[in-house]
Amino acid sequence: MNETEQIIRTEYSDLMQKSYIDYAMSVIVARALPDVRDGLKPVQRRTLYDMYELGTRYDKPYRKCARIVGDTMGKYHPHGDSSIYGALVVLAQDFKMGIPLVDGHGNFGSIEGDGAAAMRYTEARLQKITQEAYLADLDKDVVDFGPNFDETEKEPLVLPVKVPNLLVNGAEGIAVGMATSIPTHNLGEVIEGVKAYMKNPDINTEQMMKYIPGPDFPTGGIVVNKDELVKIYSTGTGKIKIRGKVEIEQGKGGKDKIIITEIPYTMIGANIGKFLNDVYNLVETRKTTDITDISNQSSKEGIRIVIELKRGADPEKLCNLLYKKTRLEDTFGVNMLAVAEGKPETMGLVPIIRHHVNFQYQLATRKYNTLLTKELEKKEVQEGLIKACDVIDLIIEILRGSRNVKEAKACLVTGDTGNIKFKSEKSRRQAAKLSFTERQASAILEMRLYKLIGLEIEALMKEHEETLKHIAEYEKILGDRGVMAKVIIKELDAIKKAYAMPRKTLIENGKEIVLEEPEMEEMDVVFLMDRFGYARTIDVTTYERNKEAADGENKYVITCKNTDKIGIFTNEGQMHLLKVTDLPYGKFRDKGQPIDNISNYDSSRETVIFVASLEQMKNEKMIFATKTGMLKLVAGEEFHVSKRTTAATKLNDNDQVIRIAFYEEGEHVIMQSQKGMFLRIEADTIPEKKKGAVGVRGIRLGTEDLLEEVHFLLPGESKTVKLKGKDLELNRLKVGNRDTKGVKHT
């Protein structure tokens, strides 16, 4: 072993835990979550800074996105180019951002979910607001810079953003173990909220909401749970209900049209297509017969989805159906999580603004300290030049008598006249009294002769007066927080005047949608479910025509009423209910829908072992058998419940249900264990229990043996099972007693 090498012995689980926590924090802080100060994720910050560095200003020509992405990836963001381009595209989309920060040229995608063109085709540059409110003052040492990934460049750790971008543009991101979802807000309202906080730092959420009444989505729409917003903005979490904006257009001959002009923010992208399909399905499943046509007439001018109605249809009733059964009314899950002081934190409205205002004071302090330092340096030089003009003849004599610049500078700074030739002793004595600073001496030595012209000297004096004014102004700002607040507010007012837009989203307390379901005509249907969990219903006639194929292709085939419910029993002892009306009804060859989507069943951890309709269970008894050999009879009426999921039986630890079947009088139950033990008992010996009971022992199993299968035999019936390649006739097994070991067969 090399002397420099060390083997450190450590617990593997501890090492994995530490490594995972490190990875999680890296994703949270360095990738997925925005910083509360500038409201930007690292990829967005780096992309904007790179565009600033490349000089892609709003008044300069567009640059290829491929160049911007490549430069960002090479200098600051060592991740995939698609993630950088994806972030750049979103920054340019006016239907996703409250205020787009990038001016895109070319195909940057559409509200309907069309993707942007490849980065080699598209071009971009910064928006004017991005330069003025997000990137201004970077040259004034207002934020800290840190090394990039390979320490060849410096990048800002945060951008000097002057508006609360976290609220204005919102945020969406999935980290490890946490996610953020912040809605967009109106720029003008948010600025008023910031001003209100600066005037009264003790402002509460309710008072703040007089200025920021709620979200303002770029797609408009209507927020309908106004009264719940105070709680959402206090805690930073909750659900905002949004509806699309609907207009009723009178058509010819009494045929009205429903025009959707604004959609919920959650519908943008592929969900517009899904909405059209959902409306089509309402017609297909005969939930409504009033719609004759639907068309998407949206364009660059805005959203326009037209639903044409039958003569005499009730548009208001139909709108209620759309709100209830489609995403025309949807919820926006709010989780205002951001990185604050290096840690992820869920914040309400006021804390976000507090962090922003504190950041603004930090920016202003650093900015005016930098400006003050520059003005003090200018003052020093100006005073040196003014003083030099008064003794210019002496300075010329010093310069002519010096052998090099070093000697001349030493004389100007310290009065050292040792090596300089003067015309008179008087000049030497005067020169010895000189005491310019290093900076002043350098400025004098670099001064051009034309600066001695009278007008130039006057200009220098005026410039000096201006410098003194600036110094006084900056010192006043730095010395008084109230003055600094006025300066910040003045800048905010200028941004509001230039860029604020009218509110798009309406906020109100909407009426709860009450949907009067039409009386359904009761009829028999056939429920079909294949082994993959896809279920559907077809009419009885269609089933009879395709009986052989239906029985062969499906695991469960049940005739039931369309008003019935289906119970899905699983090995975990759960029963999941689903309404027959929630299942697709149609053609025999239709695929159906996964039961995961329409019930609480989870195929990743449960297995379906029995399916029956509530009507079937009504007057029946059911036999339950578990892998540890427990048996019980349960009355089917026990499962007539309203809950979507209910415990069908109680299970001991590490037990599972392996068989459920309807009980038939006089039948025998044959239990088969994994180790080849068989026990035949009369079903009548199994006691009837409640669904919440464990049951009784059916077979006494040996160590590490479990029940594998349960068979049922009716009087006179013969059945065989394969056991190690041989047939075993079950009706030849002797009838035994419950709770015995049974007989071994090999």
Same domain (yes/no): 546, 695: yes
In a shared domain, residues 528 and 493 = no
Instruction: Tell whether 425 is covered by a domain.
Output: yes
Measured CA to CA, the distance from residue 400 to residue 377 in angstroms comes to 28
> Are 479 and 535 within one domain?
no
| Arithmetic mean of pLDDT, 269-281 | 88
For the chain, give the percent of residues with pLDDT over 70: 97
Question: Is 373 a member of any domain?
Answer: yes
Identify whether residues 699 and 566 lie together within a single domain: yes
Inside any domain, residue 426? yes
634 domain residue, yes or no: yes
| Predicted local distance difference test score (pLDDT) of residue 298 | 87
Quick check: 687 pLDDT over 90? Answer: yes
Pick from 683, 578, 562: nearest CA to 632: 683
Average of pLDDT values for 90-114? 94
What pLDDT is recorded for position 518?
59
Tokens at 272, concatenated: 């517009």
Domain span at residue 105? 40-160
Q: How confident is the model over 453-483, as pLDDT tens digits? A: 767 788 888 999 999 999 999 999 999 999 9
Q: What is the predicted pLDDT for the residue at 426?
A: 85
Distances in Å between the Cα of 258 and the Cα atoms of 205, 217, 309, 505, 630 are 38, 22, 8, 20, 59
Q: Cα(539)–Cα(678) distance, rounded to whole angstroms? A: 42
pLDDT in tens, 32-86: 789 999 999 999 999 999 999 999 999 999 999 999 999 999 999 998 899 999 9
Per residue in 418-450, pLDDT tens?
788 888 888 888 888 888 999 999 888 888 877
How sure is the predictor about 281, in pLDDT bands with cuts at 50, 70 and 90?
confident
In a domain, 261, yes or no: yes
Residues 485 and 586 in one domain: no
CATH number of 704's domain: 2.120.10.90
* Dihedral (CA of 13, 15, 19, 21) sign: positive
Residue 275 shares a structural domain with residue 380: no
The confidence score (pLDDT) of residue 6 equals 76
DSSP state of 9: P
Average pLDDT, the chain: 90
CATH code of the domain covering residue 131: 3.90.199.10
In this prediction, residues 738-745 reach a mean pLDDT of 90
pLDDT in tens, 401-418: 888 888 888 888 888 887
> Hey, what's the torsion of the CAs at 36, 42, 48, 49, to 10 degrees?
100
Q: What is the pLDDT of residue 25?
A: 72
Block residue for tokens 């060390």: 6
Q: Is the pLDDT of residue 519 over 70?
A: no
What pLDDT is stored for residue 54 in this prediction?
95
**Reported confidence tier of residue 300, pLDDT bands at 50, 70, 90:** confident
Q: Can you tell me the mean pLDDT for 295-309?
A: 89
Which residue type does 229 have? L
121 catalytically annotated: yes
How much is the pLDDT for 490? Answer: 95
For residue 582, what pLDDT band results from cuts at 50, 70 and 90?
A: confident
Catalytic residue among 12, 121, 134, 450: 121
CB atoms within 10 A of CB 7: 5
Judged against a pLDDT cut of 60, whether residue 1 lies above it is answered with no
pLDDT band at 163 (very low <50, low <70, confident <90, very high): very high
Check whether residue 610 and residue 657 sit in a common domain.
Answer: yes
Q: What is the pLDDT of residue 29?
A: 65
**Which amino acid belongs to residue 381?**
V
Is the pLDDT at 584 greater than 80, yes or no?
yes
Examine the domain organization and report whether 489 and 532 are in the same domain.
no
Task: With a cut of 70, say whether residue 266 has pLDDT above it.
Answer: yes
144/47 Cα distance (integer angstroms): 17
- Give me the number of domains the chain comprises: 4
What is the rounded (10 degree) CA torsion for 8, 9, 15, 18? -60
Same domain, 584 and 661: yes
Domain boundary among 130, 160, 190: 160
Residue finishing a domain among 456, 480, 497: 497
Measured between alpha carbons, how far is 746 from 734 in angstroms, rounded to an integer? 16
612, 704: one domain = yes
Q: Considering only CA atoms, which of 678, 660, 651 is closest in space to residue 746?
A: 678
Query: Quick check: is 226 in a domain?
Result: no
Same domain for 313 and 428? no
82 shares its domain with 134 = yes
Which residues neighbour 682 within 8 Å (Cβ) at sequence distance 6 or greater?
Answer: 668, 669, 735
Q: Is residue 193 part of a domain?
A: no
> Residue 139, CB half-sphere, CA atoms under 13 Å: how many?
6
Confidence of residue 4 (pLDDT cuts 50, 70, 90): low
**CATH at residue 276:** 3.30.1360.40
Q: Comparing C-alpha atoms, which of 43, 64, 61 is closest to residue 117?
A: 64
Q: What is the pLDDT confidence band of residue 669, given thresholds at 50, 70 and 90?
A: very high
Asked if the structure places residue 671 within a domain, the reply is yes
Q: How confident is the model at residue 583 (pLDDT cuts 50, 70, 90)?
A: confident
pLDDT digits (tens, 9 = 90+) for 209-233: 999 999 999 999 999 999 999 999 9
**In this structure, what CATH number is given to the domain that contains residue 439?**
1.10.268.10
Q: What is the pLDDT of residue 184?
A: 96
Residue finishing a domain among 117, 135, 160: 160
Is residue 596 within 8 Å of 533, Cβ to Cβ?
yes
- Quote the pTM value: 0.71
